Amino acid sequence: MRRLLLTTLPLLALAAASPLAGQDAAPPAPVPAVEGTFEGPYQPSDDLERGLWHQMAEAERSLKISQQVIRDPELNAYLREVLCRTVGPECANIRLYVLRSPYFNATMAPNGVMTVWSGLLLRAQNEAQLAAVMGHEFAHFKRRHSLQLFREAKEKSNAAAFLALTGVGLLFSIGMLESLFAFSREMEEEADRDGLKLLIDAGYDPAQVPLIWEQMLDERDATLVARGRDKDKRKAKAGMFATHPPSQARVDYLRAAIAGQTINPVADNGLERYRTRLAAWWPQFLDDQLKLNDDGGSLFLIDSIDKANGWTPWTGFARAEFHRRRGAPGDAEAAVGFYSDTIARGGDLPELWRGRGYALRKAGRADEARADFLEYLGRVPDAPDRAMVSTLAGVQ
């Protein structure tokens, strides 16, 4: 949910250096109406926009070959399914990219490129929450909000050029530039209200929308409390936290808007569907989150999923992994306990046995650890870490 897309930001820099940037003395083209029937994708209307489109196309070419893009056909098909259910036939004009990055974020560029970050997939508690974020981004897109910001921010683009030239990487640059391109409160409210309508029309439970923002506020608090209030605020505000700042006011007006709506009686939140389709990705996305060493935020995330959905093998696994990786006194044994409990309650992610093997090893229980490593290898014959785990299991 941020506004300036992955692709747009570096573009700002390039546009500043481009000869086209100097030719925009003409007044901005009128912003087309966004309500009403589908009129096909928006086309650039002047030299400034043509320059921007050109740069966005370049950025998309980089995206197409980026290691950070998850190309798994099943995951992509599922996200597109959710997108199309949410925004309707116009989804045909959206090019969707799934990025592996632990931050809570999604973006949509004026040329129709949407990105969904794995940190969002980890945090969305069900399909309705993912749909809500997609709908919100799409609403910014339909109303040409980021295009407006681009025009307004043109004068500041020297700063963008400088950052882009430092070669620190696309995602980092975007993080640094976010403060230059924050959506206005009015834009946010428009996107919220449009997004809410999309969600209701798609038959999802709209109560999930304010919950997302509330979770963001609470997660930020948890991170800050664990780190000490004044430390490292920038990191705590990365991604959507910076571009679509959550606030209690937003939670309140969304709640009030829902209270006035007639909700489709079959509204659902797609919890089972979401968990099933994301199951295979859970260990990897969780791993990326735990590597951030954001103990407060990670534990909050696990607790809040448990609280909303009840215990599941996914959160049982997550809690075990959290303790194993944190490595505070007593954590190895605590982790063994959580893995064992999850297995006893029917959890069957192969990573449960691998994780318990590592925790047992750390706790000095080598024989039990070897048995778990063998169990893992038996369950995932083509595991990418087979060589290492085989060594630990003593079979090679």
Q: Which residues are catalytic?
A: 137
Q: What is the Cα–Cα distance from 139 to 132, expressed in whole angstroms? A: 10
Nearer to Zn ion, 127 or 188 (CB): 188
Question: Least distance from C-beta 334 to Zn ion, angstroms?
Answer: 39
Nearer to Zn ion, 43 or 248 (CB): 248
Q: What is the Cα–Cα distance from 356 to 334, expressed in whole angstroms? A: 10
Nearer to Zn ion, 215 or 342 (CB): 215
Instruction: Give CA separation, 193 vs 206, 254, 390, in Å.
Output: 11, 8, 54
Three-state secondary structure call for residue 81? helix
Nearer to Zn ion, 123 or 244 (CB): 244
Question: Least distance from C-beta 2 to Zn ion, angstroms?
Answer: 7
Question: Least distance from C-beta 146 to Zn ion, angstroms?
Answer: 10
**Under the rule (CB under 5 A), what is the footprint of Zn ion?**
1, 188, 191, 244
Question: Least distance from C-beta 89 to Zn ion, angstroms?
Answer: 23
Q: What is the Cα–Cα distance from 147 to 133, expressed in whole angstroms? A: 19
226, 297 Cβ separation under 8 angstroms:
yes
> How crowded is the C-beta side of 248, counted as CA atoms within 13 Å?
2
225, 158 Cβ separation under 8 angstroms:
no
Question: Least distance from C-beta 359 to Zn ion, angstroms?
Answer: 41
Structure-token match 């976010």, residue found: 178
Question: Least distance from C-beta 37 to Zn ion, angstroms?
Answer: 24
174 contact partners, CB below 8 Å, separation of at least 6: 4, 6, 9
Nearer to Zn ion, 245 or 350 (CB): 245
Nearer to Zn ion, 240 or 301 (CB): 240
209, 133 Cβ separation under 8 angstroms:
no
76 contact partners, CB below 8 Å, separation of at least 6: 70, 96, 98
DSSP per-residue letters across 108-136: E-TTSEEEEEHHHHHH--SHHHHHHHHHH
